[in-house]
């Protein structure tokens, strides 16, 4: 009985304090203010679980086809990915270092994600981050699959390859 009333009192205090904290302006939304470790950990887990759950679409073409990968490099260079993520031989724009969360190195991400997951993220973007959902600006699925094919191959793409594939 004692325990139950203690839990009840704590719940009432939380129900009053949390809205005051968040709606009263005490929570700091500044991008220069880092999350607590446990919040970052939870956000990471939530993001990964959500991507894994939603990324169900299958590629309509072979993503190992060199023509698809090379076309993907061109799409990648034309849609602004380089400003935030960089590319082989091309550095990201300075501002991207001030994004929070910061854009990851895609040649590392490529090793940890399936092409389906990369496709889904590029198509839909990631809420509360700077990662745009490219379908919202009319980028077609087949273009996004090419981008996913290229990103997946990034660990083995040389600067010379990237330069040749993106030359006009």
- Rule CB under 6 A: say whether 54 interacts with ligand HEC: no
Q: With contacts defined by CB under 6 A, how many residues of the chain interact with ligand HEC?
A: 29
Report d(CA 149, CA 69) in Å as an integer. Answer: 5
- Rule CB under 6 A: say whether 126 interacts with ligand HEC: yes
- Pick from 85, 59, 67, 88: which is nearest to 155 by CA? 88
Candidate segments 33-41, 56-64, 116-124, 159-167, binder of ligand HEC by CB under 6 A: 116-124
Report d(CA 29, CA 130) in Å as an integer. Answer: 14
User: Closest residue to ligand HEC, Cβ-based?
Assistant: 81
In order of 9, 22, 40, 42, 129, the CA distances from 109 in angstroms are 45, 33, 18, 19, 16
- Rule CB under 6 A: say whether 104 interacts with ligand HEC: yes
Q: In sequence order, what are the beta bridge partners of 90?
A: 87
Report d(CA 33, CA 10) in Å as an integer. Answer: 28
- Rule CB under 6 A: say whether 85 interacts with ligand HEC: yes
Give the one residue of 87, 109, 149, 154 binding ligand HEC; rule: CB under 6 A. Answer: 109
- The footprint of ligand HEC (CB under 6 A) covers 47, 51, 76, 79-81, 83-85, 96, 99, 101, 103-104, 106, 109, 113, 117-118, 121-122, 126, 129-132, 134, 147, 151
């Amino acid at each position: 009985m004692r325990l139950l009333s203690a839990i009840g009192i704590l719940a009432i205090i939380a129900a009053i304090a949390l809205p005051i904290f968040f709606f009263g302006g005490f929570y700091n939304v500044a991008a220069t203010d880092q999350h607590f470790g446990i919040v970052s950990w939870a956000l990471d887990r939530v993001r990964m679980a959500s991507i894994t759950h939603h990324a169900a679409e299958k590629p309509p073409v072979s993503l190992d086809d060199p023509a698809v990968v090379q076309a993907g490099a061109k799409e990648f260079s034309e849609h602004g990915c380089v400003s935030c993520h960089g590319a082989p031989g091309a550095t990201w724009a300075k501002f991207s270092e001030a994004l929070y969360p910061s854009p990851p190195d895609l040649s590392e991400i490529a090793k940890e994600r399936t092409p389906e997951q990369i496709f889904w993220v590029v198509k839909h973007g990631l809420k509360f981050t700077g990662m745009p959902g490219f379908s919202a600006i009319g980028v077609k699925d087949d273009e996004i699959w090419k981008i996913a094919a290229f990103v997946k191959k990034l660990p083995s793409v040389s600067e010379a390859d990237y330069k040749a594939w993106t030359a006009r």
